Amino acid sequence: MNIKPWIQAARLRTLPLAFSCIITGAAIAIQNNVFNPIIFILALLTTLLLQVLSNYANDYGDAVSGKDKDRVGEKRMVASGEIAKEAMKKSIYLFSFLSFISGLLLIIYCFNNYFYIILFIVLGLAAIWAAIKYTVGKNPYGYSGYGDLFVFLFFGIVGVVGSSILYTTDLDYIILLPAFSIGLLSTAVLTLNNLRDIENDAKTAKNTLIVKMGFAKGKSYFASLILLSQLAMIAYAILSHFENRQYLFLLASILLSGILKKVLNTNKPEQMDPFLKQTAIATFTFSLLFLLAMLY
């Protein structure tokens, strides 16, 4: 068995973005003196499995729907014939199972409250459903303009607030601000993906939000996501009475402002590709700097 196509289909470069919400939740736990390394490791493992599941399902769904023709980004393994459809379908079942088991272990370790156990099991099942239904099935939400909403919810609200509750077993509504911040940045990465693919998506009836609003408005939308994400985290810092050193995360804002300038000055969809990786790395850096600020 050639493992290389499977690694490529897993798109490991997407993991730093997926981990950003878990790192942010851990930073909040450190801030509140409730950090637990076992919870952190299990949360990272569950997120890794969910992200690989999402990428495999996306690869499979795009191939089955035929919406991968003339794509600009990296090639898909099923569409290119390097992985058989049935093999990828089995891997989706496998990673759905592994994600559920990992998440269940995390939930059992964290809670002895039946309400939270049931709530997080439902959220876990919803995350698995969302990972698959983005491009798979009769009416995938990724082809109907709802991808942005789901990315915001699962990479932001569920990811940050959920991981924070794992440590605290309580909800402080102020943590919605960093959740908004990471969710908006994650949506910004998806927006760049859709800006890059806008022409092919329009041809194949993949009606992303960017296809609906157009390229120019899409760039303005990206700008609003970046700016609002930074304002949300600054508001959290002010309301939490951060000391000067705890504003370390603002260093990532310099990276993001540089990317924003390049995006606004780019007029060809295919030229958006490098900015995806840059924005994902900047988001990961943003969360790491936030974590470091809570440590020192």
Please, which residues have CB within 8 angstroms of residue 21's CB and are 6 or more apart in sequence?
47, 155, 156, 159, 160, 163, 179, 182, 183, 186, 287
Q: How confident is the model at residue 80 (pLDDT cuts 50, 70, 90)?
A: confident
Cα dist from 23 to 41, 46, 142, whole Å: 10, 13, 26
Q: What is the mean pLDDT of residues 179-193?
A: 96
CA separation for the pair 63, 86 (Å, rounded) = 12
Average pLDDT estimate for 274-296: 93
pLDDT of residue 44: 96
Confidence class for position 230, pLDDT limits 50, 70, 90: very high
What pLDDT score does 283 carry? 96
Query: Is residue 78 over pLDDT 80?
Result: yes
Nearest to 226 by CA among 191, 267, 193: 191
- Of 65 and 193, the one with more pLDDT: 193
Round to whole Å and give the CA distance between 229 and 264: 17
Sign of CA dihedral 254, 28, 183, 232: negative
pLDDT at position 108: 95
Going by C-alpha positions, the residue among 25, 41, 31, 7 that lies closest to residue 287 is 25
pLDDT of 70 strictly over 80: no
**Tell me, what amino acid is at 164?**
S
Q: Which amino acid is at 159?
A: G
> Across residues 38-61, what is the average pLDDT?
94
